[in-house]
Amino acid sequence: MMSETAPLASLDQWEDDVLSRYPEPEHKSKEDYRNYDSPERDTVREFYRLNHTYQTYDFVREKEREFLAFDKKELPVWGAMEFLNTLVDDSDPDTDLDQLQHLLQTAEAIRADGHPDWFVLTGFLHDMGKVLCLFGEPQWAVVGDTFPVGCKHSDKIVYSEYFVNNPDAHDERYNTKYGVYEPNCGLRNVHMSWGHDEYLYQIMKNYMPEPALYMMRYHSFYSQHREGAYDHLMDAHDHEMFKWVNKFNPYDLYSKSPKPPVVSELKPYYEDLIAKYLPATLRL
């Protein structure tokens, strides 16, 4: 029986699933990744069954109260990355790189294309919120496609059929098009499903430029930036900022490479970059 804490063999299995849904058009075909008939897909289905069952409006508000007190740990950013590395799982079939190396690959791909240094730093930081797993959070409350809670679930969300088990889907306060929100109220007023995206945004919101914060907060919001399913909640500013989200995502999804970055060579550059934008330590 699959665990409700960890149905996936690896946290990266969710990203592999995203790749199968949104393959890189120029270099990858859907056949290059796991297809929906493979045995591994059962764990992804179970992951989303749990995610869609338990990610309710009340659950999200509870997690916001629990984790946004930032009273679990205080670490320098590089220390947080080394902490994150304890999540490494060699069952991921697409890469044997640890979390730090994946983040460096993403950031280095962004740097190679000449983007601003804060964009490079965003690539380096974007998965840091996965430390939630190290605080005892189940996988379905750490990774997975994100979506608004407190309003009707879009059928554009992956495995949307599993929302039938979500109490909010049967609650008249939350199961209408707008639910607890107003038309085009802006995503800043919308509560998203709980996970590493929202957690990292909340850690970084006082330090990074706004485009970087949008990338961090919404890079897993595929039903919007790939499907446009929540235009009715977004305002004009959200649409402008989502240009940055769309610019970021290919670096996250398609920068995996079997050649590991040389951490010792890159560390001085990233330590300087961290010091430019962030305090000496972060509260997690």
* Half-sphere exposure for 245 (CA within 13 Å, toward CB): 22
Pick the closest to residue 34 from 47, 44, 26, 48 (CA basis): 44
The pLDDT score that the predictor gives to residue 19 is 82
- What does the pLDDT read at residue 25? 57
Dihedral sign for Cα atoms in the order 114, 116, 122, 125: positive
- Cα separation, 4 vs 229, in Å, equals 28
Residue 283's DSSP bridge partners are 74
Q: What's the CA gap between 8 and 113, in Å, rounded? A: 33
Q: How many CB atoms lie within 10 A of CB 206?
A: 9
Contact call for residues 203 and 129 (beta carbons, < 8 A): yes
User: Where do the domains of the chain lie?
Assistant: 12-283
Tokens of 263: 């951490």
User: What is the pLDDT at residue 98?
Assistant: 73
Residue 223: exposed, middle, or buried by beta-carbon count in 10 A (0-12, 13-18, 19+)?
buried
Residue 247 has what pLDDT? 96
282 phi and psi angles, rounded to 5 deg: -120, 140
In the structure encoding, which two tokens stand for residue 206, read together? 């006082």
Question: What does DSSP say about strands 282-283 and 74-75: parallel, antiparallel, or unpaired?
Answer: antiparallel
Q: What's the pLDDT tens digit per position in 1-45?
A: 468 888 988 888 888 888 888 886 554 444 443 343 454 568 899
CA 233 – CA 220 distance, rounded (Å): 17
Residues 218, 171 contacting (CB under 8 angstroms): no
Q: What is the pLDDT of residue 22?
A: 81
Closest CA to 10 of 33, 40, 55: 40
Which pLDDT tens digit goes with each residue over 124-158? 999 999 999 989 999 999 999 999 999 999 999 99
Backbone angles phi, psi at 165, to 5 degrees: -90, 0
Please give the DSSP secondary-structure letter assigned to residue 75.
E
SS3 129: helix
Contact indicator for 277, 208 with CB cutoff of 8 Å = yes
- Regions of the chain short of the pLDDT cut 70: 1-2, 24-41, 87-97, 255-258
pLDDT at position 139, please? 93
Q: At residue 106, what is the residue type?
A: T
Predicted model pTM = 0.90
Chain centroid to Cα 134, Å, comes to 16
